[in-house]
Structure 1
Amino acid sequence: MTTSTARSSLLEIKDLQVTYGSGASAVPAVRGVSLAVESGQKLGVAGESGCGKSTLALALLRLLPPTAKLSGEILLDGEDVLTMKWGRLRAVRWAGASIVFQGAMHSLNAVHRIGDQIAEPVLLHRRTTPAAARRRAVELLEQVGLPAGRADAYPHELSGGQRQRVMIAMALACDPRLIVADEPTTALDVMIQAQILRLIEGLVAEQDISLLMISHDLAVLSDTCDRLAVMYAGRIVEEGPAREVYQAAQHPYGRALSAAFPRIGDAASRRAPRGLPGDPPDPSALPSGCTFHPRCPVALDVCSHEDQPLRNAGPGRRAACVRVGATLPAQSAAERS
C-alpha cells in the first residue's frame, strides 16, 4: 500500500474479505483487498462485471445483506467501520462518507418529491428545522446544475442525467469527507456521461472531498482519478497512478481492459478493436493458481498452480503478475503447447 507524507489516509482498507453464505456453499466475492484513499484524493477501481467492485463499495458503509460475512479492517479516519455500533454507523453514513449508487431511478423513492428526499438526511444528521433543510436541498440542486423548481418534481419527471445529479446532491447533503461513486454514469448517453463526470470532478475538487469511483471503463477513470486499482476475481491485481496504469498496465488483465476501448485518433485501435475472450471466473469455482491464467495470453506454466502476490512494479505501482520484475521467457504456456 502506498503512503504519502503530504496527506494522511482518510480511508484504509486492510485485507478485506467478503464472503456470501457459509460452510461448503460459501462464495468469496472480495479476497484480501488492501487499498488507501488519502484526504482529497480520487481513487478509481476498475474491472469487469462480477469482479467484486460493487461488493467492495457496499462493504465500505456496511450496506451488504446479512448473508455477507466480512473480515479485515475498513478504517475511516482511523475508526473501523466493521466494529462500529449501529448508532455510530448511522452517524458516519451521509456525514462521514456517502455513496452514489448506479441506477438512480431504483435508488430514489418514486412517491416522494426530490426536495424532500434531499432534505431527509439533512434533517436526520444536522437536527435542523424543515425550512432550513428545504433551503439546503434547493442550494444543493443549484450546486449540481438543476433549477430550484425541480425540488417539487417526482423522480419520474426528471431525465436520467437529472436524476443522477439528484443522487450527487443527496451524497453532498451532509458535507461528507468521502464519496463512493458506484458506476455513476451507467445507462447514460455519452454526452450526459461526460457532464456528470465533470460535475463530480469539479465538486470533489472545490470541496476537497475524497472520491472512490467504480467503473468498468479505464479511460473514464484515468481521466477522472489520481490513482487506479484494477480488480479481478475479488482481488486487486494492479494499482498505480491512473494515467500510467491506463497507458502502460503491468498486468495482462489491465492491458486487456485498456485495449478494449478504442482511443480517439488511434487508427490502429479503430480498425482492429481488441477484446478479452471469456468471462471472469465463477467465485464459487475459482481456478487454481493465478485466477486470470485461463484467459491470459502470456501465461506461464507456473501461473496455473501458483497464485501471484502484488509486487513492486515501479514508483507507486504494484502488480500481481509473475512477469513483473523478473526475466522470463517470452513464450507463453499456451504458445508452447
Structure 2
Amino acid sequence: MTARLLEIEDLSVTYRTGEGDVPAVRGVSLTVDRGEIVGVAGESGCGKSTLASTVLRLQPPSAEVSGAVRVLGDDVMTMRWGDLRTLRWAGASIVFQGALHSLNPVHRVGRQIAEPIELHEPDLAEGEVTRRVGDLLEQVGLPAARAAAYPHQLSGGQRQRVMIAMALACKPDLVIADEPTTALDVMVQSQVLDVLSGLVAELGVGMLFISHDLSVLADLCDRIAVMYAGRVVELGAADEVFTRPLHPYAAALSAAFPRIGDPAARYAPAGLGGDPPDLRLLPDGCPFTPRCPRAVEECSHAEPPLATYDAGRQAACIRVGQA
C-alpha cells in the first residue's frame, strides 16, 4: 500500500472578491503518510479550512488555485470530474465542524451513512448495506440501533460520531477532520478524539486534523503545522512544537493553554494581543511583526522563508537560534 497518502506542494489559494483579492493560502507544502495524524493549527482566518477543503477540490468557483495536491499519487487539481467523484468518500473523506449543520434533519442518520456506500458500491445488497451501517456506528462507539434516529434526537457528541462514521463509510485511506470537536464540551471532545486516534491505529488510515487548539493537537497528532496569514510558519513533531516552539507565534499559541501543575501559567496566563492581519493588505515583511514580542527592524523588510533546523524542524523566523 502507498505510504504517502497526501502531498501538498507549494499550494496557493486566492479568493477573488469585490473588495479585492484574498490570498487565503500562500505557498503551503505538507505531507501525510499512512497511519499518521498531521495537525494544522492557527487562529480563525489563517487558512486552515481553505487548505482542508482544497484537498478534495471543494473550494468555491471564486478561488484561484496554484500548486499541486496529490492524494494517493493523483493530482486533485488536474483530475477529471468522474475520477474526482470516485476519489471523494472512497479515497479521501472529510469530517466538517458543526455536525448539526452538516447532517440532513429530515433523514435518519442510518440513511445518510448508507448513501455514500450505495453510491460507490451500487451492487451491494440492501441487507449488506444495513449491516455495514450498523458496524460503522459500533466502530465509533454508538449502538447500531441509533441508525433509526434523526439528527435532533442525538447529542452533539453522538452527531459528531455519526459524521465520523459517514467519513469511514467507503473505507477511505485519508480522512480530513476540520475542527470536528470545536462545539463540544471537554468530556465529549476527549471521547471523540479517542475514537479518531483509535481508528487511525486500527485501520491504518492517514488523517489531516484541523484545529485552533494546540493542546488538543499535541495530544492527538504525530506532527503539527502552525499557520499564520495563509502560510506555515512552523512544522515539527507535535510534542516539540507544543513544549519547545521555535516561532514566536507558535510560542504564543502554546502559552495560551496553561499546564496542569504549573503555578506560573495559572497565576499569569499568557495571551497574544492584536488581531491577525487583513490578508488583502499584507505588509512587505513578516505578517506577524506587529504582534511579535521579538520583532526587530529587519522583520519588516522581507518575509522569511520556511527554513529547516536541527532534527528536521522548520520555522519561518529570522530570530530562531538567537538569544
TM over 0.5: yes
> C-alpha distance in 1, partners of 2:180/2:261?
26
Aligned twin of 1:115? 110
Q: Is 1:298 matched with 2:301?
A: no
Q: Does 1:63 align with 2:58?
A: yes
Counterparts of 2:241 and 2:310, CA distance in 1 = 11
Measured in 1, the distance between the counterparts of 2:23 and 2:38 equals: 23
**Structure-2 residue corresponding to 1:137:** 133
For the 8 Å contact 1:47–1:232, the answer to whether it is kept is: yes
AA at the equivalent of 1:216? H
Matched residue of 2:232: which SS? strand
Which letter does structure 2 place at the counterpart of 1:71?
S
- In structure 1, the residue corresponding to 2:240 is in which secondary structure? helix
Q: Is the 8 A contact 1:250 1:313 kept in 2?
A: no
Tell me which residue corresponds to 2:180: 184
Over the matched positions of the two proteins, sequence identity in percent amounts to: 65
Task: Give the structure 1 partner of residue 270 of structure 2.
Answer: 274
SS in 2 for 1:70: strand
What is the deviation of 1:55?
Answer: 0.5
The aligned amino acid for 1:109 is N
Instruction: Give runs of aligned pairs for residues 161-172 of structure 1, distance below 5 A.
Output: 161-172=157-168
Distance 1:186 1:23 in 2: 31
Amino acid across the alignment from 1:229: A
Q: Which moved more, 1:129-138 or 1:106-115?
A: 129-138
Alpha-carbon separation, structure 2, partners of 1:23 and 1:280: 21
Alignment partner of 1:254 out of 250, 254, 267: 250
Per-residue deviation at 1:23? 9.2
Name which of 299, 306, 312 aligns with 1:310: 306
Q: CA deviation at 1:8?
A: 3.5
Whichever residue aligns with residue 50 of structure 2, its letter is: T
Question: What aligned pairs does 1:157-236 form with structure 2 within 5 A after superposition?
Answer: 157-236=153-232
Aligned to 1:32: 27
Q: Which amino acid aligns with 2:275?
A: D
Please name the residue that 1:3 is paired with. none
Task: Give the deviation of 1:149 after TM superposition.
Answer: 1.2
Alpha-carbon distance in 2 for matches of 1:233, 1:113: 40
**Alignment partners' CA distance in 2, 1:270 and 1:29:** 35
The alignment partner of 2:310 has SS state of coil
Q: Which residue of 1 aligns with 2:94?
A: 99
* Uncovered stretches (5+) of structure 2, i.e. residues with no partner: none
Q: Among residues 45, 48, 52, which one is paired with 2:43 in the alignment?
A: 48
The Cα RMSD (Å) is 1.3
Name stretches of at least 5 consecutive residues in structure 1 with no aligned partner.
1-6, 331-337
TM-score (norm 2): 0.97
Q: Which moved more, 1:158-167 or 1:260-269?
A: 260-269
Letter of the structure 2 residue corresponding to residue 283 of structure 1: L
TM-score with structure 1 length normalisation?
0.93
Q: Write the distance in 1 (CA, Å) between the matches of 2:7 and 2:38.
A: 12
- Are the aligned partners of 1:18 and 1:68 in contact in 2 as well (CA < 8 Å)? yes
Q: Counterparts of 1:24 and 1:302 in 2: how far apart (Å)?
A: 31
Give yes or no for the alignment of 1:87 onto 2:82: yes
Q: Is the 8 A contact 2:294 2:319 kept in 1?
A: no
Q: For residue 335 of structure 1, what is the aligned residue in structure 2?
A: none
Correspondence for 2:10 among 5, 15, 20: 15
Matched-pair contact (CA < 8 Å) for 1:311–1:324 = no
Q: Which runs of 4+ in 1 moved over 3 A?
A: none
Distance (whole Å) between structure 2 residues aligned to residue 183 and residue 23 of structure 1? 29
Number of aligned positions between the proteins = 321
